[in-house]
Amino acid sequence: MAAQPIYIGIIGFGNVGAGTYRTLLDNEASIERKVGRPVRVKRIADIDWARPRPMGVTAPRELQTTDARQVITDPEISIVVESIGGTEPALDLVLAALRGGKNVVTSNKELVARHGKELFDAAAARRLDLAFEGSVGGGIPIVRPLKSCLAGNRIGRIMGIVNGTTNFILTRMSEERTEFAEALAEAQRLGYAEPDPTNDVEGFDASFKLAILASIAFETRVTVEDIHREGITGLAARDMDYARQLGYVVKLLAIGAEVNGGLELRVHPTLLPQHHPLAAVSGPFNAIFVRGSSVGEVMFYGQGAGPMPTGSAMVGDIIDVARNIRSGATGRVACTCFEDRPIRPIEELRTRYYLRTEVADRPGVLAAIAKVFGEEGVSLASVLQMTASGETAEIVWLTHETQERQMRRSLERIRKLSEVHRINACVRAEAQE
Looking at 48-56, 118-126, 194-202, 314-322, which segment touches a second copy (CB under 8 A)? 314-322
Active-site residue (options: 209, 251, 371, 416): 209
141 Cβ neighbours under 8 A, 6+ residues apart: 133, 300, 313, 316
Q: How many other C-beta atoms lie within 10 A of the C-beta of residue 251?
A: 28
Told to check if 419 binds a second copy by CB under 8 A, we report no
- Alpha helix segments (H runs only) across 218-301: 237-245
- Residue 68 identity: A
Note if 102 is an active site residue.
no
Which is nearer to a second copy, 108 or 303 (by Cβ)? Answer: 303
Told to check if 327 binds a second copy by CB under 8 A, we report yes
* Cβ–Cβ under 8 Å, residues 173 and 180: yes
Which is nearer to a second copy, 285 or 397 (by Cβ)? Answer: 285
- Residue 57 identity: V
Site for a second copy in 377-416 (CB under 8 A): none
Which is nearer to a second copy, 167 or 324 (by Cβ)? Answer: 324
Backbone angles phi, psi at 402, to 5 degrees: -150, 175
Cα dihedral sign, 94-300-189-195: positive
Told to check if 160 binds a second copy by CB under 8 A, we report no
3-state DSSP helix/strand/coil percent for the chain, to nearest 5?
40, 25, 35
As measured in angstroms, the least distance from the Cβ of 27 to a second copy is 5
Told to check if 329 binds a second copy by CB under 8 A, we report yes
Q: Provide the strand spans (E) within 149-219.
A: 155-161
What DSSP element (H or E) covers 258? strand 248-259
Told to check if 297 binds a second copy by CB under 8 A, we report yes
32 Cβ neighbours under 8 A, 6+ residues apart: 1, 38, 39
**What letter would DSSP give residue 277?**
G
As measured in angstroms, the least distance from the Cβ of 90 to a second copy is 22
As measured in angstroms, the least distance from the Cβ of 5 to a second copy is 17
Question: How big is the chain, counted in residues?
Answer: 433
Told to check if 298 binds a second copy by CB under 8 A, we report yes
In the stretch 202-241, what mask flags binding to a second copy with x, by CB under 8 A? -----------------x----------------------
Looking at 3-11, 192-200, 320-328, 404-412, which segment touches a second copy (CB under 8 A)? 320-328
Helix (H, G, I), strand (E, B) or coil at 80: strand
What is the distance between the alpha carbons of residues 63 and 41, in angstroms, rounded to a whole number? 8
Query: Which of 3, 4, 26, 245 is close enough to bind a second copy by CB under 8 A?
Result: 26
Query: Which of 125, 280, 388, 431 is close enough to bind a second copy by CB under 8 A?
Result: 280
Told to check if 295 binds a second copy by CB under 8 A, we report yes
Told to check if 308 binds a second copy by CB under 8 A, we report yes
Cis status of the peptide bond prior to 89, with omega within 30 of 0: yes
Q: What residues act catalytically?
A: 209
Q: What residues line the site for a second copy (CB under 8 A)? A: 19, 22-24, 26-27, 30-31, 33-34, 133, 139-141, 144-145, 148-154, 219, 277, 280, 292-303, 306, 308-309, 311-316, 318-320, 323-324, 326-329, 331-333, 336, 338
